[in-house]
Amino acid sequence: MNKIILYIATSLDGFIADTNGGVDWLPHPKDDSELEAVGYKSLMSCIDIILMGSRSYKQILGFGEWGWPDKHTYVFTSKQFETDKPYISITHDSPLEFMASLKDRKSDKDIWLLGGAELSKSFAQECLVDEIIFTIVPQTLGTCIPLGLIFAKFDLTTEKFLTDGMVQKIYLRNE
């Protein structure tokens, strides 16, 4: 099976979103070189599936046009809702059930676990996350939505200092 990569940004104090789920505090790359500096373009070239929770999905819908029509996105939720986009599927499966449904998948591409916090924790608790690409933005948010992952099952393999004081750490699962 291909890798599940959690690619996510946090504030300096460990939060992934403000109290309303907003991410306005994140820097906005100005061009392709800035996207590549944080590894986003490389990530996009190696994945064909995106996984996210329903709150992340609704947040992203508010940004306007869907950014990944060439990637199949699965939205994990316990709620009932539908989408008219052929490249978006709603799932009520647990992470283990979902991954079992992909066992016969014929692709050499990896899977991006976009978030949010609850879905990321669920995948990590089931030892389904293979790699974490974790970018720390030098800004504090106070009391907001924490990432809340325990990194004990991961080894830090890379640490890069990026522009504007950001730091990117790459962890690989050690089991």
pLDDT in the model for residue 33? 82
Q: Distance (Å, rounded) from C-alpha 100 to C-alpha 82? A: 23
pLDDT at 6 over 90: yes
Please indicate, yes or no, if residue 39 is contained in any of the structural domains.
no
CATH number at residue 115: 3.40.430.10
pTM of the model: 0.93
Please indicate, yes or no, if residue 24 is contained in any of the structural domains.
no
The helix or strand, by DSSP H or E, that contains position 170, with its residue range, turns out to be: strand 167-173
Domain that holds residue 159: 4-18+47-173
pLDDT in the model for residue 143? 80
3-state SS, one letter per residue, for 94-119: CHHHHHHHCCCCCCCCEEEEEECHHH
pLDDT in the model for residue 1? 62
Overall number of domains in the chain: 1
Q: Distance (Å, rounded) from C-alpha 90 to C-alpha 110? A: 19
Half-sphere exposure (CA, 13 Å, Cβ side) for 92? 5
State CA 147 to chain mean position distance. 11
Q: Name 152's Cβ contacts closer than 8 Å, sequence gap at least 6.
A: none
Please indicate, yes or no, if residue 34 is contained in any of the structural domains.
no
Mean pLDDT of the chain: 91
Neighbours of 38 (CB within 10 A): 20
